[in-house]
Amino acid sequence: MRKTELQINLRNLEHNLSVIKSKTTSVIQAVVKANLYGLQLKQIIEILDSKVESYAVITLDEARDLRKLTKLPILLLQGVHENEDYKTVSEQELDFVLHSSWQIKSIDKFKLASNRLWLKVNTGMNRLGFSEQEFLENYNLMKNKNFRDIVVMSHLASSSDILNQQNQSQINTFDKITDGISSKKSLANSGALFNYPESHYDIVRTGIALYGGKYQEFGIKSISCLRSKIISIKKISRGETVGYDGMWRAKQDTHIAAIGIGYGDGFPYFSESFSVNINGNLYKTVGKINMDLITIDIGNEKKIKVGDWVELWGYETNLTELSQKFNSISYQLLTNISRRVAKNYLE
């Protein structure tokens, strides 16, 4: 059996949830889109289900899969993509976002009395959401319809950057627009949870902080460890090259270890060396990653054997810093891991 796996530490997940809850008195919505940031659903939902108020996803397929595992509210973060989608929204009793006028046109054709409506206002991110005037008109229209509840929401553009003045501007705009509105409110994501307590309102929407992709400075722990076993060790001589296009050339006699993971498993493409952990020591990758293999210069270390584990990232890894080596972000590291990488859960 191919020995490449993403270990997922459920105790660290519980720890992160405790840290998050210690920072706010608001209820928590767990953002579990993109197959729960690549970590898969079942085992993690079992941890979260008694500790969060609701979940958030993007697609109807994600919502259907999640509905099999929970009775908690499930929010479609982008709302429907076609008006016919309201049929599934009704059948699955999903929360849904309204951010554009076209989503309203056929809403009365469906039975949505058991659903919670999230009305999105654009406060400056300029991505999704109604303008102030559109929002007020649609809020007055929607509150007279028979929804279970209405939540007013927006989204901060730069919540991880506490020095970015746009954040306070957006918070002020949200306060101004929603002044006098009695509905529940939601603005904060993971970054705002830590950096802007005044943005918490009633419901905080946390994603990456739950899974340890960012915010280690606040006590968040990585919950994942990506590793693969050595499947080959080859001695090469000074001057020989390794891998596609011969980009790496040995400066001295050495040994090259190969592990069975590549960009076909969702690891970022690279041609520059970076460090991996073997038996507690760091070694450099060499050559280009390919679809199914990564090669590592282990020198003349005789203690390293075929079958030893190689960690590409571990529980102590700062995924934000690691992702920067690939001109990427921690979100992409996690969500890109493919289904052919086994997921093993640790209690």
Catalytic residues: 33, 244
How far is the CA of 184 from the CAs of 32, 81, 163, 178, 288, in angstroms? 21, 24, 28, 10, 51
Distance CA(344)–CA(5), nearest Å, equals: 7
Q: Which of these, 292, 269, 340, lies nearest to 38 by C-alpha position?
A: 340
Q: Which of these, 283, 274, 249, 258, lies nearest to 326 by C-alpha position?
A: 274
- Parallel, antiparallel, or unpaired: how do β-strands 254-259 and 4-9 relate? unpaired
- Separation of CA 243 from chain center: 32
Q: Which residues contact 218 (CB under 8 A, 6 or more apart)?
A: 19, 23, 194, 209
Q: Which residues contact 327 (CB under 8 A, 6 or more apart)?
A: none
Q: What sign for the dihedral angle of Cα 314, 309, 37, 25? A: negative
Burial class (CB in 10 A: 0-12, 13-18, 19+), 336: middle
Distance CA(160)–CA(295), nearest Å, equals: 35
Task: Give me the residues paired with residue 38 across strands.
Answer: none
Distance CA(172)–CA(177), nearest Å, equals: 9
Tokens encoding 69? 């595992």
Q: What are phi and psi of 23, to 5 degrees?
A: -95, -5
3-state secondary structure of 86: helix
| Structure-token match 């529940």, residue found | 184
